[in-house]
Structures are given as C-alpha cells and as structure tokens.
C-alpha cells in the first residue's frame, strides 16, 4: 500500500471518528432563526397577565372581608380562587392568614408551608417566620409555659442585661451575618400583624423583644454604627406594651441600652462606627494570639549550645584516641 493511500485512509478514519463523537452537531439543523426562538408566546403572556389580575382582585376582596371580620366568606373566596388559579403562592399565604384569623391554626400552618413551597421569596422572604409564629401558637395551646424555655425565633440571646450573639449564627466582619435582613423580615411580619392585633399578645411581644436583642447582639445598632437607623429601644418598648414573656429581663436590657447609648461620645461628623461598647464588641474579637517568639529564641539558643557541646565532645574524644594511639616520645635523659 502506497504512502498516499495510507494517509487517505487515516484521514477518512479521523473524519468518521469525529462524526461519531459529535452526532448532534453533524445532524442538528435549526428549524427557526434565533429571533424566532426568542419570540415570546403571546398567548402565554396574555394568560399570565390575566392570572395576575385575577389574583390581585381576589386578594383585594379578601382584605375587605378580613377587615370586616367575615372570615368564613374570606376563606370561601380564597378557596375558590385557589381552584381557578392553582399553584399561586400569594393565594396560599392569604388562605393561611384567613385560617389563622379564624383560629384554625393547623390549617393555617399547612397553607403557609404550601405558600413557602410555591415561592419562598414572597412577602420579603418572611413567610418562614409566619410559620414559626403559628408553631409557637400551637405549642402554647398545648403548654402554657412554653415560653419558659423557648421563643419564636429559636435563638438564645442569653440571660444577662446585654444580649449575647447566639453561637449558632455566623460572625462576619464583626457582625452577625444577615442580621439586617432578618430584622427586615421581622419588621414585615410585625407590621402586618399589629394592624389587627391589640395587646396583650405574648407571641408578638416575644418577637419584638427578640428584634431588640438581635439589633444589639449583632452589632448593627447605633451603639456600634452611628449611621444605623435601627432603634432597639423601640423594639423593647413595644415588647413590654404587648406583654412579652420575661418582662423583667426586657426592662433591664432597655435600661442598659439607654444608659450605654447616653454614655457614647458625640457622633463624629463623618459618622464613623464607634467601638467603645465592650459588652458587644469583645464578643466579636478574635481570641488573643499567644506569642511563642520568646520560647522560639530560647529554644534556638539552647539547640545551638547543645550542638556546640556535642561537637566539642566528639572532637575531644577523637583527640584523646589520637593521643592514646600516638603517645609522645619519651623525654631524653638529662
């Protein structure tokens, strides 16, 4: 077989191998241009717009019925909307709220969890907290002393007059990571609930108190950041208004916060963060590093001495052996 034929067969084999490895590229032919592929389905867009309008109308009517205390009618309206527009997260969460208002907490919790499955980001991503509130209410119905060992957030801020950062939360750059976002979610739920709730309400009181604790313990309050608009004292005051559990501790923390805030130096013009609130900032300081430099120096010096002595001993031993093997000649007689 000539050299030319060998090269030809090798080229053919290579072509077949490439074709076998990339069959899709060899056979796929676009049926439409890129513009056609990006073209939205006009009918689908129209259906989505109509669905959003129906949801908005249903939620508007639901608000009216809830404000009038017509909870059965509200539930019936939302259940009908769920049948017509299945799978909508806002309808599910509205059903949860309607059942909660009627006192059917188990059904309420089921619908809130369903809404979270459909869209966990609804209502500023705070529906998980709505579920925690319902779980707390159910727990209290079974055990009136539930707040003795628990709270709605499930976070332990300690028992001292200065709340401490829960160990389970991550610390990043001297602050609890995500604390401000968590406070936004707490605020959303508190605003929505205080519209139709009047004191006493220990569940809301506990949540107000935890918000104040979180603001201080996470180092996002004016005690640590003079630019901060967060007001822990307002949370504590509302907590006492709503009859928060452990009211004595809330009062101590409120008084301590006011005293520490009053003791701060005047805010600098550029509103730089201050770092003179030891109970908070010391928690976020890295543990002091133990210096081993002195021990290193001493150990190095000792090592050198040992090596020198060892070398000296070896040399002395060799000198003695050499002296024994080669004794000096006897002295001449005088």
329, with CB counted inside 10 A (0-12, 13-18, 19+), is: exposed
User: Which residues are 175's β-sheet partners?
Assistant: 172
What sections of the chain are H helices per DSSP?
3-21, 23-27, 34-38, 42-67, 71-84, 89-102, 105-118, 122-125, 127-142, 179-194, 202-217, 232-241, 247-262, 278-284, 293-325
Distance (Å, whole) CA 103 – CA 139? 14
pTM given for the model: 0.68
Domain boundaries, the chain: 52-131, 171-284
Distance (Å, whole) CA 164 – CA 167? 9
Using the predicted structure, report yes or no on whether residue 146 has a pLDDT greater than 70: yes
pLDDT in the model for residue 293: 63
Please provide the DSSP assignment of 161-177 as one string.
SS----TTS-EETTEET
Mean of pLDDT values over 285-303: 61
Distance (Å, whole) CA 241 – CA 244? 8
pLDDT in the model for residue 45: 80
DSSP SS3 for 100: helix
Distance (Å, whole) CA 232 – CA 280? 14
DSSP SS3 for 96: helix
Domain 52-131 has CATH 1.25.40.10: yes
Mean of per-residue pLDDT scores for the chain: 81
Neighbours of 153 (CB within 10 A): 20
pLDDT tens digits for range 296-317: 766 777 777 877 777 877 777 7
pLDDT tens digits for range 88-121: 999 999 999 999 999 999 999 999 999 999 999 9
């Amino acid at each position: 077989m000539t050299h030319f034929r060998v090269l030809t067969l090798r080229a053919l084999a290579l072509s077949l191998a490439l074709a076998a490895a990339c069959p899709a590229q060899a056979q796929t032919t676009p049926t439409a241009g890129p513009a056609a592929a990006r073209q939205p389905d006009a009918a689908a867009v129209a259906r989505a717009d109509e669905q959003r309008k129906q949801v908005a109308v249903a939620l508007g009517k639901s608000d009216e019925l809830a404000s009038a205390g017509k909870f059965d009618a509200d539930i019936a309206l939302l259940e009908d909307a769920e049948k017509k527009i299945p799978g909508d997260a806002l309808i599910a969460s509205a059903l949860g709220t309607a059942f909660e208002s009627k006192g059917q907490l188990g059904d309420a919790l089921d619908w809130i969890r369903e809404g979270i499955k459909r869209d966990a980001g609804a209502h500023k991503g705070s529906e998980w907290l709505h579920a925690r509130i319902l779980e707390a209410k159910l727990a209290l119905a079974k055990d009136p002393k539930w707040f003795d060992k628990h709270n709605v957030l499930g976070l332990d801020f300690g028992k001292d007059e200065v709340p401490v950062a829960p160990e389970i939360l991550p610390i990043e750059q001297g602050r609890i990571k995500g604390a401000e976002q968590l406070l936004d979610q707490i605020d959303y739920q508190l605003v929505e609930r205080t519209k139709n709730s009047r004191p006493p309400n220990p569940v809301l009181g506990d949540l107000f108190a935890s918000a104040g604790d979180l603001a201080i313990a996470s180092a996002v309050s004016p005690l640590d950041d003079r630019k901060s608009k967060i007001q822990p004292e307002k949370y504590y005051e509302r907590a006492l208004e709503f009859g928060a559990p452990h009211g004595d501790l809330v009062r101590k923390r409120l008084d301590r916060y006011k005293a520490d805030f009053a003791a701060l130096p005047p805010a600098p013009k550029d509103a730089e963060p201050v770092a003179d609130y030891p109970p908070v900032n010391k928690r976020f300081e890295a543990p002091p590093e133990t210096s081993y430099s002195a021990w290193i120096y001493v150990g190095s010096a000792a090592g050198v001495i040992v090596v020198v002595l060892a070398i000296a001993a070896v040399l002395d031993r060799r000198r003695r052996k050499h002296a024994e093997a080669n004794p000096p000649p006897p002295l001449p007689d005088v």
